Amino acid sequence: MIEPELIEKINRVLAEEFEVDPAIIKPDAMLMDTLDLDSLDLVDMVVLIEHNFGFTVKAKDFAEIKTFMDFYQFINSRMDGSK
């Protein structure tokens, strides 16, 4: 179960960081394509997670993430793991 507040926060920080309209962020949409990310942006994704969610990941951890839902679950599981 992912708290709606967490999804809202993830959407907000992604929209702010990557300067996209929050309305285009949908659970089934493809993360990389929707946010127009390249390999440099994944470095900033690591920074974004550390700043906003308090844990450190590696860029290679994003390899299995395709959709925003995958991303929500990734963040949620890591936050659960840190509790």
Partner 1 sequence: MGIYSCIGQDLDTVRDSLMKGKSGIIADPLREELGFRSFLTGSLPEPNLNNVLDRRKRLCMSQEAAYAYLATSWAMEQAKIDSDFLAKNEVGILYGNDSSALAVIEGVDILREKKNTTLIGSGSVFQSMNSSVTMNLSVIFKLKGINLTIAGACASGSHAIGMGFMMIQSGLQDCIVCGGAQEVNPYAVGSFDGLSAFSMRNSSPTEASRPFDADRDGLVPSGGAATLILESYESAVRRGAPIFAEIKSYGFSSNGDHISVPNVDGPKRSILMAINNSDVTLDQIRYVNAHATSTPVGDFNEAMAISEVFGDHRPFVGSTKSMTGHEMWMAGASEVIYSIIMMQNSFIAPTINFEKPDEASAKLNINNKCERLPFDICLSNSFGFGGTNSTLIIKKL
Footprint of partner 1 (CB under 8 A): 17-19, 40-41, 43-44, 46-47, 50, 56, 58-59
Q: Minimum Å distance from CB 10 to partner 1? A: 18
What is each CA distance from 60 to 22, 37, 57, 64, in whole angstroms? 25, 14, 8, 9
CB closer to partner 1 out of 8 and 16: 16
**Rounded CA gap, 71 and 7, in Å?**
10
At its nearest, how many Å lie between partner 1 and the CB of residue 5? 25
Minimum separation from the CB atom of position 51 to partner 1 (A): 9
In the chain, count H helices and then E strands: 4, 0
